[in-house]
Amino acid sequence: MSNKILILTGRSLFADGVISKLLNSPLEGKFDVVDMRQPDPLQAVVKANPDYLILDETDPELTEQLKCDLLTAVSHLKVIYLDPQKNHLRVLQCVEYDNSQIWDLLNEIDDTNDFSPKTIPPAGIQKDAKSQLNANLPA
């Protein structure tokens, strides 16, 4: 498994700590560090095109706007927020579907079932079921 990992921080000690932990793990990967204090950190992330982006959640340079922009900047990106003071980890990912259909929505909500055109009844059947339900309701 080869993953490109980018650490975006304004604190070199945070980056050093994360890299030292990852290098001593079975995880293979390429580690890069981008200084969040540069003029356009978002553009640096887009240019690096990482699979994983690790952030220090307590970093004062990490604005709410930057957090939102990072989620949509690279389509396959998983953003990992670390809070070293609380030993807390949070992973976020933005998923987009082109030409999405109702089964894309259903699969996102319930990943235990296979919602696809083959398993969803045709629209006419759904309308009949709705009219039957309405017929059984008291007026």
Q: How far is CA 67 from CA 21, 73, 126, in A?
A: 24, 10, 41
In angstroms, rounded to a whole number, what is the distance separating the alpha carbons of residues 18 and 73? 23
The model's pLDDT over 99-120, given as tens digits with 9 standing for 90+, comes to 777 777 787 787 777 777 666 5
Q: What is the pLDDT of residues 8-38, one digit of tens each?
A: 888 878 888 888 888 877 766 678 888 888 8
Dist CA 81 CA 65 (whole Å): 15
- 3-93: CATH topology is Rossmann fold (3.40.50)
In the predicted model, is pLDDT for residue 43 greater than 90? yes
How confident is the prediction for the chain on average, in pLDDT?
A: 79
β strands within the chain, DSSP E: 3-9, 29-35, 52-56, 78-83, 88-93
Give the Cα separation of 120 and 110 in Å (integer). 14
Which residues of the chain does CATH 3.40.50.2300 include? Answer: 3-93
Whether residue 125 has pLDDT greater than 50: no
Burial environment of residue 42 by CB neighbours within 10 A (0 to 12, 13 to 18, 19 or more): middle
Please state whether beta strands 78-83 and 3-9 pair in parallel, antiparallel, or not at all (unpaired).
unpaired
